[in-house]
Each structure stands twice: as C-alpha cells, then as structure tokens.
Amino acid sequence: MAHPVYLDYNGTTPHAPEVIEAMRPFIETQFGNPSSTHWYGIRPRKAVEEARKQVAALLNCRSHEVFFTSGGTESNNHAIKGMANALGNKGRHIITTAIEHPAVLEVCRHLEIRGFETTCVGVDQAGKVNVDDICNAIRKDTILISVMHANNEVGTIQPIPEISALARKHGIAMHTDAAQSMGKIPTDVQVLGVDLLSIAGHKLYAPKGIGALFVRQGVFPEKFCHGASQERGYRAGTENVPWMVGLGRACELAAQNPGHTANHMKSMRDRLHKGLADQLDDVRLNGHPDDRLPNTLSLSFKGVEANRILEEIGLEVAASPGAACHSDTVSLSHVLEAMKIPLEWAKGTIRLSTGRMTTPEEIDRAVEAIVRAVEAIVRAVTHLRGASGV
C-alpha cells in the first residue's frame, strides 16, 4: 500500500538528498573537532565556516552575523532572552503578537515571571498585524519587538519591513521568527530590516535539531550558553558539524531558483484548494488570500470536526489539525482564536502544506480522500440529527 500523501511540510520537511550527501562525509569519516589545531580539525572547521557562508548568502548578511543553534526554538529563546537580559537595565517592556509560535510566547511568559512586561498585539481576520497597533503599543521602556515573518498555521506574512522601520525610529531592537518563511519566500535581512532573525533547519529540508540565529553586527544579546569559545562565545559546546553542513547545503539549495520552487508549491496548493472547493460546499480559507506563504492552505469545513477528518483520511493523507475536539470541549489553536474564526468553522480546520517534492498526482489523491471523508462525516452527522429529531 502507498504511504499517505505528505501534506505537512510546515510540520517538517523530508531531508533533501543533496543535504544528506553533503553531511555524509562528516558522519562517516570526517569526525574531527573543528577546534582542533591538528590535521583532523581542518576539514570540519572549513566545512562549518562554508556552511555559515551558505546561510549568510540566503539571508544576504555577513557570515559572522550567523550563529548556529539547535533549531527555531533555541534561536527564539536566544534572541528574546538574550536581548531582555542585555537591555533589562534600559527597559523591561517587550511587544509581540497573539499568533506567535509557543517558542516566542512561552519565552515572553517566562520573562514576565522575571519582571518583564509583554504587550501581545492582536491580528485581523486574515491573521495580519496592523503596524499602527504595534506603534500604539510602543512605550518609553520598550526594548524589543518580536513579530513572526510568516505564521505556521495559516501562512499569513507580516509587514516586517514596516515594523522594523518603526522599531529603528524608536531605537528598539527588532526580532523576527523566520522558521516558516526561510526557503519559501525571500528572507533578505537588509530588506526586512531586522536585528535578529530565527531559522529552523527542518522546515527547509535539513535535519531536525539544527537552526541559526542572525544577529546584526552591533547588536549584542547576552550569551546563550557559557563555556568555551565556539560560536564566538555565544553558544559554547563542540559544534554539530554534520548538521551545520546540512543546514548550509539546504540554504544553498533554497537560494537556487527560489521563484521556481515557490511557484511549484503554490500551484500544488492552489490545485488542492480548487479541487476541494469545487467539490465541497462550506469550505473556508483561513489566512490572507494574497500575503500568504506559497505552500500553506488552512481550510475550515463547516460543522465537521477536524480530528474526525484526520482520522478518516489518516491512511491516505498526512495533515495537521487546527482544532482538537474532545467529547464535550473544543480546543482551538490560539492562532484561529486570535483571528476570531467563528467556532462552527474553526473546529473543522485542517492545515495542509505542500513542498518541493509534492506532485500533481499526490494532490489529486489527497483531494479524492478529503472529499470522500468530509462527505461521509456530513452524511453521518445529518443522519444522526435526523434520527434524534434535532
């Protein structure tokens, strides 16, 4: 039997074959410690610096502005806690948004226990932040603004250049979580104007457990991990050479023909959307219709529970829920809640995300399976209602 069609590329991506090939020598034979001054250290050290250059090229920054981390979560922790600790004497107010990943929101909550204050700016129904709302939240003691580049659930892209300009005007540091946008849309830090930017390797065909943080020259978050002098003293510990090499190669691949990849993901996503919307009534798109990641499709099916759909299609399609319904309660994602998606729609929300490897045949199989599942659930619900006279 064929594997389920993989439509959860925002959850994680498969490893690109080229990434595995680049990593292979550093797993099989090139085991040296990059800090070693002898022969065995030379190639690993060069490989780490080459990888740093490859990440920097995709970001359009200098390679000494790139610091490797264990992933998006650590990058966000480093950026936000690092800036809070470095600037805590100047001010203790941070601005973020209600739709950030927990790797930002939980860091802010942790800082609140330590005496910082957070303003969580809301979003509109398309999941977009209003720059004026950010402006109104700025106080004399604001030290950091952290707004994600693109949302992981609905894909809405935020006006980062405008928010960065505002931050700069007020002398506030600006961070963006680009875990989802890197490799899907341009992430040129000069255009975005940010001081700090987080990357997660496993969202762009590199392994899990590797990421990076861009820190603009002249910006000084507190050190994340104390010890020896790796990562210019910011993150002590012997480098994970194969994984760093993998992330570098993944960035290099993302930089090759980015328009083509984005067009492919978008055409697969739009084929999926059209296939479903043509055959099913009561389908609603969540997220911004235009300013949205080219691969992300968050759909709500009215009156149907998301986990029922995912159970029905489980052997045929891999997707993510936007809500979890238990026997008598529904827990919506904080993103759908912030977007004020009405409950009867929100509870039937699934996130489908396409990738570089998605094929038209896979999309057609997925459409068929989802249509069949939704129709069967609707029939069962209608039958149950009829039988109970509701």
For ligand PLP, the closer CB: 247 or 317: 247
Annotate 76-102 with b (16+ C-beta within 10 A) or e (fewer): bbbbbbbbbbbbeeebbbbbbbbbbbe
Q: In DSSP terms, which residues pair with 351 in a beta bridge?
A: 298, 320
Q: Would you say 105 or 367 has its CB closer to ligand PLP?
A: 105
Span of 32-40, 172-180, 293-301, 350-358 interacting with ligand PLP by CB under 6 A: 172-180
CB 84 within 8 Å of CB 96: no
Q: How many residues does the chain have?
A: 390
Residue with tokens 């490799």: 183
Pick 66 or 377: Cβ nearer ligand PLP: 66
CB of residue 101 to ligand PLP, shortest distance in Å: 4
Query: What are residue 174's DSSP bridge partners?
Result: 145
Q: Do the Cβ atoms of 178 and 198 come closer than 8 Å?
A: yes
Write the DSSP assignment of 292-338 as a string of letters.
B-TTEEEEEETT--HHHHHHHHTTTEE-EESEEE-SS-EEE-HHHHH
221 binds ligand PLP (CB under 6 A): no
In three-state secondary structure terms, 190 is: helix
CB nearer to ligand PLP: pick between 158 and 305 = 158
Binding of ligand PLP by 180 (CB under 6 A): yes
Residue 20: count other Cβ atoms within 10 Å of its Cβ. 17
Q: Is 135 a catalytic residue?
A: no
To ligand PLP, the closest distance from the beta carbon of 75 in angstroms equals 8
Per-residue DSSP letter, 127: S
From 120, 135, 225, 325, active-site residue = 325
Beta bridge partners of 145: 95, 174
Q: From 135, 132, 126, 133, select the one nearest 157 (Cα to Cα).
A: 126
Among 13, 54, 73, 354, binds ligand PLP (CB under 6 A): 73
Q: How far is the CB of 239 from ligand PLP (least distance, A)?
A: 17
Residue nearest to ligand PLP (CB): 72
> Which of 8, 65, 177, 231 touches ligand PLP (CB under 6 A)?
177
User: Which class for 256: exposed (0-12), middle (13-18), buried (19 or more C-beta within 10 A)?
Assistant: exposed
| Cβ at position 225, least distance to ligand PLP in Å | 16
Query: Should residue 244 be labelled a site residue for ligand PLP when binding is judged by CB under 6 A?
Result: no
Residue 330: CB partners within 8 Å, gap ≥ 6?
Answer: 305, 323, 324, 343, 346, 347
Q: Which two tokens stand for residue 102?
A: 């927990």
Q: Quick check: 152 binds ligand PLP (CB under 6 A)?
A: yes
Nearer Cβ to ligand PLP, position 32 or 183?
183
Residue 101 sits in the site that holds ligand PLP (CB under 6 A): yes
Distances (CA, A) of 48 to 22, 100, 346: 12, 30, 44
Q: Is 179 in the site for ligand PLP (CB under 6 A)?
A: yes
Total residues contacting ligand PLP by CB under 6 A comes to 13
With CB under 6 A as the contact rule, which of the stretches 18-26, 173-181, 268-276, 277-285 interacts with ligand PLP?
173-181
Interface with ligand PLP, residue 230, by CB under 6 A: no
- Is residue 333 near ligand PLP by the rule CB under 6 A? no
Q: With both helix axes pointing from N to C terminus, report the angle between 241-255 and 39-59 in degrees, rounded to the nearest 10.
A: 30
Which CB atom, from 104 or from 341, has the smaller least distance to ligand PLP?
Answer: 104
- What is the footprint of ligand PLP within residues 201-220 (CB under 6 A)? 202, 211
Q: How far is the CB of 209 from ligand PLP (least distance, A)?
A: 8
Beta-bridge mates of residue 156: 292
Q: Binding ligand PLP by CB under 6 A: which of 72, 127, 321, 322?
A: 72
Query: Quick one: 103 or 262, whose CB is closer to ligand PLP?
Result: 103
Question: What x-and-dash track marks residues 103-122 binding ligand PLP by CB under 6 A?
Answer: x-------------------
Contact window for ligand PLP (CB under 6 A) among 71-79, 87-95, 113-121, 258-266: 71-79
Residue ranges binding ligand PLP (CB under 6 A): 71-73, 101, 103, 148, 152, 177, 179-180, 200, 202, 211
Point out the residues that are catalytic: 325
